[in-house]
Amino acid sequence: MPSYRLSIGYRLFTIGNMAFLTLLALTCLFPLIHVFSVSLSSAQAVSAGAVKLWPVEFSTASYEAALAKKEFLQAFWITIQRSVIGTSTSMILMILLAYPLSKDNRQFRFRTVYAWYFVFTMIFGGGLIPTYVVVKSTGLIDSIWALIIPSAIIVFNVVVLLNFFRNLPKELEESAKLDGANHWTILWRIYVPVSLPALATVLLLTVIWHWNSWFDGLIYMNQPRHYPLQTYLQTTIVSKDLSEMSAQEAEKYLRVSIRTGRAAQIFIAALPILLAYPFLQRFFVKGMIIGSVKE
């Protein structure tokens, strides 16, 4: 048995802390549960305000209506393409950038100058109009590459990676050099495999960035058929002009209701991230705290 006993004050603090964090977690979870319940309820129950945290008069009509919309499915597919291509491009570029910046000035001359060059872009940006002019001048308007190239390198993620690389044992690189390995081999055969927690963290942040981004689609896409999912939702759900709806759309909305249709589309849009996050959570947590404890 231990030679000490926890004080009553410590026990009360622990219980209060756990109760507070549980309440905070439930507060964050309740809106999502409510949206899900609304999406599975009938239009009449939602209009009457009877839906709280459980579906009333269970109905899947909202999901059927959402999945039957060609525009919604097309925007969903564009977002999937953007997330896959954009995340792959960003990860490769950020790894290639973080590796040399993780070296000291003896190995990479003017390393500090280059590092501050990129950090400067985190503090000062070119502005919306100059960025739009550059994108338009390069012919990327109405192209999926307009959603990928301008945000291909997220400097914050680069900083996370280079700090992780700097904390790796130097002996790994030195032993590889003794065996004749060059920097390319060291990066992809040593640094990347042992940096999975940091890479998973950056991967998750990058995927979420591409999946949730909507403003760039609004300014770089002239045709609504090129909108990514979040831009489509913003234009059709947040600022939808009901007077412009066709007779067929109006009839469908009368059966589904505006609120249930919105809730269904919002939940479908959030579902991929909700499904992916549990599988990356352990890497994400480890990547965020790595290096804080020295052995």
pLDDT tens digits for range 155-214: 989 988 988 898 888 888 888 888 888 989 999 988 999 888 889 888 988 998 999 999
Residue among 61, 59, 37 at smallest CA distance from 50: 37
- Put simply, whether the predicted model's pTM sits higher than 0.85 gets the answer no
pLDDT in tens, 72-127: 999 999 999 999 999 999 999 999 999 999 988 888 888 889 988 988 888 888 88
Q: What is the pLDDT of residue 241?
A: 46
- C-alpha span between 180 and 173 (Å, rounded): 11
Q: Can you give the pLDDT at residue 65?
A: 83
C-alpha to C-alpha distance for 69 and 52, rounded to whole angstroms: 27
Name which of 94, 74, 66 is nearest 217 in CA terms: 74
- Please tell me which residue, 287 or 291, carries the higher pLDDT value: 287
Query: CA 90 to CA 160: how far, in whole Å?
Result: 14
Q: Tell me the CATH number for domain 61-289.
A: 1.10.3720.10
CA distance 203 to 206: 5
What percent of the chain clears pLDDT 90, i.e. is strictly above it?
29
pLDDT tens-digit profile of 193-203? Answer: 988 888 988 89
For the cut 50, the answer to whether the pLDDT of residue 33 exceeds it is yes
> Is residue 245 predicted with pLDDT exceeding 80?
no
> Which amino acid does the sequence have at 8?
I
Percent of the chain clearing pLDDT 70 (strictly above)? 85
Please tell me the predicted confidence (pLDDT) of residue 255: 53
Q: In this predicted structure, what is the pLDDT of residue 82?
A: 94
pLDDT score at 97: 93
- pLDDT score of 233: 87
Among 179, 185, 119, 178, smallest CA distance to 153 is for 119
CA distance 44 to 54: 15
Residue 162 burial (10 A CB sphere; 0-12, 13-18, 19+): buried
